[in-house]
Amino acid sequence: MTYTVTPYCDGCKYTDCVEVCPVEAFHEGPTMLYINPETCIDCDVCVATCPVEAIYAEDQVPEQWAEWTQINADECEKYPTISEMKDALPGARTLEEIKAAGG
């Protein structure tokens, strides 16, 4: 099993999860982060630290985002690993703003 970053991260790119990941499983794309399923050790630490609830265990990804597990795997091959916390993107929304906008 692996963990999956879902669309709630897109446009925000909070990196709280990166800072706690013990194996540097995150890759940084232009507008969001992705988890490398080959590197992820299923420790669950990243889930609690994500301020927008964008990370799910592979078997708990909401149905509407089921394809995001494969998207994470594919996108990790394109982007570098990130291991240090950075500022979120300008205009990053809070969880409340994301939910109010319907996702």
Q: What is the pLDDT of residues 15-47, one digit of tens each?
A: 999 999 999 999 999 999 999 999 999 999 999
Task: Give a yes or no: residue 46 inside a domain.
Answer: yes
Angle subtended at Cα 61 by Cα 31 and Cα 10, rounded to the nearest 5 degrees: 10
pLDDT at 55 over 80: yes
pLDDT at 4 over 80: yes
Domain of 49, CATH number, reads 3.30.70.20
What tokens appear for 68 in the block? Answer: 């995001």
Task: Give a yes or no: residue 91 inside a domain.
Answer: yes
Task: Give a yes or no: residue 76 inside a domain.
Answer: yes
Task: Give a yes or no: residue 24 inside a domain.
Answer: yes
Q: What is the pLDDT, as a whole number, of residue 102? A: 81
Q: Which residues contact 30 (CB under 8 A, 6 or more apart)?
A: none
pLDDT at 49 over 90: yes
Backbone CA torsion sign across 36, 41, 43, 45: negative
Backbone CA torsion sign across 31, 52, 65, 4: positive
Number of domains in the chain: 1
Task: Give a yes or no: residue 93 inside a domain.
Answer: yes
Q: Give the whole-angstrom CA distance, residue 22 versus residue 92.
A: 25
Range of the domain at 17: 3-97
Task: Give a yes or no: residue 51 inside a domain.
Answer: yes
Q: What is the pLDDT, as a whole number, of residue 1? A: 84
